[in-house]
């Protein structure tokens, strides 16, 4: 006789949360086929369908909705009990899931993540990078990494004290026939690669020099929502780009890109690790925060 385990129940919750078998499978670290099979066995044992499935969408049935409403809180209680037990570990182990935008992930890899894995080889670090802002609690993450201004007000924030800078850059070929901008409003006469924010709005390039500030709504031939693709467009001479300094450092050093308006892009706040308050954080979670503070956090 089939007996549902915690993994099967967690799978249902993950699918309900993500609205997709594929996304839930990625979160759980299993194949879509294995996830579908597990849910199918659970549905067969219950004698009801939990999900309506089409080739394009997944939604809970009425029975599935009631199932999730009852099982969800119970799983949270079980997870809390397991966290309480893990908090008593002498040696950190388990998995820490981190959500970050790509630049932030690159920033914390060295030395924070690399050093942590060296010190605590029994802990697995799972980093998911994406540009959109997510609810780290609802999406099953332990920590988030964002610029300080984007940290939700109900989260505990730990400053990494690594000042960030933006950089306006263009290719040498682009500047062969165009003058370099000297003040932000000069950008209105240039072709620029526009960036779409996670909420769909177009980003306005922001500048500051001393007490002066400026915000420019640039225009250009391409609008993108991924920095790595935008850098390709800039390298190919399609227009100027506005990036995090560390993302274009090597290209500036190699002369593949040229920086302008340097005096209008001073350092700003920097990145924060953030997380929800927890009564009994695991030993691995505590160790990660302790290392972040040791290496320069607040």
β-strand partners of 170: 258
d(CA 177, CA 124) in angstroms, rounded, equals 51
The closest of 140, 137, 138, 111 to 126, measured between CA atoms, is 140
Nearest to 125 by CA among 93, 161, 83: 93
**What phi, psi does 43 have (nearest 5°)?**
-60, -40
Q: Is residue 298's pLDDT more than 60?
A: no
Write the DSSP symbol of residue 110: I
Asked whether residue 1 carries a pLDDT value surpassing 60, the answer given is no
Q: Which structure tokens are listed for 278?
A: 């927890």
The residue written with tokens 């306006």 in the block is 168
Biggest CA–CA distance in the chain, Å, is: 76
The pair of structure tokens assigned to 147 is 């610029």
Q: What's the pLDDT tens digit per position in 110-162?
A: 889 999 999 999 999 999 988 778 889 888 899 999 888 788 889 999 988 66
User: Would you say the CATH fold of 94-162+270-294 matches that of 6-86?
Assistant: no
Confidence tier at 277 by pLDDT (50, 70, 90): confident
Q: How many Å apart are CA 168 and CA 260, to the nearest integer?
A: 6
Nearest-5° Cα angle at 196, 264 to 162: 45
Using an 8 Å Cβ cutoff, are 243 and 193 in contact? no
Q: Which fold has domain 6-86?
A: Arc Repressor Mutant, subunit A (1.10.10)
Task: Give the chain's end-to-end CA distance (angstroms, integer).
Answer: 53
Q: What are the residue boundaries of the structural domains of the chain, listed by start? A: 6-86, 94-162+270-294, 166-264
In whole angstroms, give the CA distance from residue 178 to residue 278: 55
Helix (H) or strand (E) holding 289: helix 283-294
At CA 21, angle to CA 227 and CA 150, rounded to 5?
Answer: 35
Question: What integer pLDDT is reported at residue 27 of this predicted model?
Answer: 80
Query: Structurally, what CATH architecture does the domain formed by 94-162+270-294 represent?
Result: 3-Layer(aba) Sandwich (3.40)
- Contact criterion met (CB below 8 Å) for 165 and 248: no
Lowest mean pLDDT among 27-31, 64-68, 82-86, 156-160: 82-86
Alpha-carbon span 95 to 34, nearest angstrom: 21
Q: What is the share, in percent, of the chain residues with pLDDT greater than 90?
A: 46
CATH class of 166-264: alpha beta
- pLDDT at position 279 is 66
Tokens 């924060």, residue located: 272
pLDDT for residue 87? 58
Question: Rounded to two decimals, what is the model's pTM?
Answer: 0.58
């Amino acid at each position: 006789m089939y007996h549902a385990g915690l993994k099967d129940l967690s799978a249902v919750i993950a699918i309900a949360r993500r609205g997709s078998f594929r996304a839930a499978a990625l979160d759980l670290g299993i194949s879509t086929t294995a996830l579908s099979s597990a849910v199918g066995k659970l549905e067969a044992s219950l004698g009801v369908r939990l999900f309506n499935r089409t080739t394009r969408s997944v939604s809970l049935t009425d029975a599935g909705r009631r199932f999730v409403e009852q099982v969800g809180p119970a799983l949270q209680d079980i997870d809390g009990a397991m966290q309480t037990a893990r908090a008593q570990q002498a040696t950190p182990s388990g998995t820490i899931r981190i959500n970050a935008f790509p630049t932030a992930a690159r920033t914390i890899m060295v030395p924070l993540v690399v050093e942590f894995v060296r010190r605590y080889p029994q802990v697995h670090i799972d980093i998911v990078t994406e540009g959109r802002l997510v609810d780290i609690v609802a999406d099953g993450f332990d920590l988030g990494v964002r610029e300080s201004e984007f940290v939700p007000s109900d989260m505990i924030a730990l400053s990494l004290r690594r000042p960030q800078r933006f950089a306006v850059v263009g290719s040498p070929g682009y500047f062969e026939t165009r003058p370099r901008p000297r003040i932000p409003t000069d950008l209105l006469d240039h072709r620029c690669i526009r960036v779409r924010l996670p909420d769909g709005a177009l980003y306005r390039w922001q500048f500051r020099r001393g007490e002066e500030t400026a915000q420019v709504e640039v225009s250009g031939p391409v609008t993108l929502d991924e920095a790595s693709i935008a850098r390709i467009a800039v390298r190919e001479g399609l227009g100027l780009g506005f990036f995090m300094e560390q993302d274009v450092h090597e290209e500036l050093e190699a002369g593949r890109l040229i920086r302008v308006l340097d005096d209008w892009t001073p350092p700003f706040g920097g990145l924060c690790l953030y997380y929800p308050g927890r009564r009994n954080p695991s030993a691995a979670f505590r160790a990660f925060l302790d290392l972040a503070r040791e290496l320069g956090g607040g």
